[in-house]
Structure 1
């Protein structure tokens, strides 16, 4: 008697399906690792940029403290408004603090005449980050010919 042995297709199909699932899991895990690494690099860039900005702000605040003390001293030693105005005419009105090679913090001050020693001696006109150079973005689309 000639019996034919029939091997079911289920064994091969389940093996192929298992290989496909494993390949999918491996590829998704690699993609998530690459994405996490890119997020980490971006986070470090943002962190360094924020630290540089706040260091520039700290320098500006220190300068504001020094200017305030200097203006208070000038006001206390001035006899009248005209001598006060003559004394403060030599003070800078715009200060620059570097953030990076491409940016700096610009602080512009105004020096109004105070009515008493308890009034403010300066006003902050602007406190802004300015770009030193024009940023050129790569807008080319690389297409395979």
Structure 2
């Protein structure tokens, strides 16, 4: 009778352990995939916001360029000498025009402390200006956090 009861016993220990291990591995990999996908989504949204901000600033820059071109067309089309024209352009453009360098420039603020810088070189003749630079730069100063004491490689002095 003892033989009969031992034969009817089902041995499911090893296969259950393997199945539990496989389920735990699949759940762990699933959670890691979900976490990675959320990180990728956040990065994609930040990238989309940055690109959108750049093109909004670029659009404002194109509008500014159109306005400046209109002023230059009006002032240079009057047939005046370049010195008189330069004075009138300075009066119309104000601080945007630097008479000494002949540069017309502006900064268009963007997000995260960045700005779009546009510089035009004032020219004579049919070509009124030339774009010298059109770039994005960090316009805000940032401070490095030095509040955490970090070992600089020097041995402590004993006093």
TM-score (norm 2): 0.74
Is residue 131 of structure 2 the alignment partner of residue 120 of structure 1? Answer: no
Q: Which runs of 5+ in 1 are unaligned?
A: 141-145
Listed one character per residue, the Cα deviations across residues 3-59 of structure 1 (whole Å, up to 9, x for unaligned) are 3725575x2111100010011001100110111011101111111111111101100
Q: Which runs of 5+ in 2 are unaligned?
A: 97-103, 149-159
Aligned residues: 134
Q: Structure 1: how far apart are the matches of 2:79 and 2:141? A: 43
Q: Where does residue 109 of structure 2 map in the other structure? A: 98
Say if 2:119 and 2:133, in contact at 8 Å, map to a contact too: yes
Q: Structure 1: how far apart are the matches of 2:2 and 2:76? A: 119
Say if 2:71 and 2:89, in contact at 8 Å, map to a contact too: no
CA gap 1:37/1:137 in 2 versus in 1, 3 angstroms: farther
Q: Which moved more, 1:24-33 or 1:82-91?
A: 82-91
TM-score (norm 1): 0.80
Q: Where does residue 3 of structure 1 map in the other structure? A: 3
Is residue 73 of structure 2 the alignment partner of residue 72 of structure 1? Answer: yes
Listed one character per residue, the Cα deviations across residues 85-125 of structure 1 (whole Å, up to 9, x for unaligned) are 332244322201011141111111110111xxxx3211111
Say if 2:109 and 2:116, in contact at 8 Å, map to a contact too: yes
> C-alpha root-mean-square deviation of aligned residues, in Å?
2.4
Q: Structure 2: how far apart are the matches of 1:55 and 1:135? A: 28
Is residue 142 of structure 2 the alignment partner of residue 134 of structure 1? Answer: yes
Q: Which has the higher contact order (CA 8 A, sep 6+)?
A: 1
CA gap 1:113/1:137 in 2 versus in 1, 3 angstroms: farther
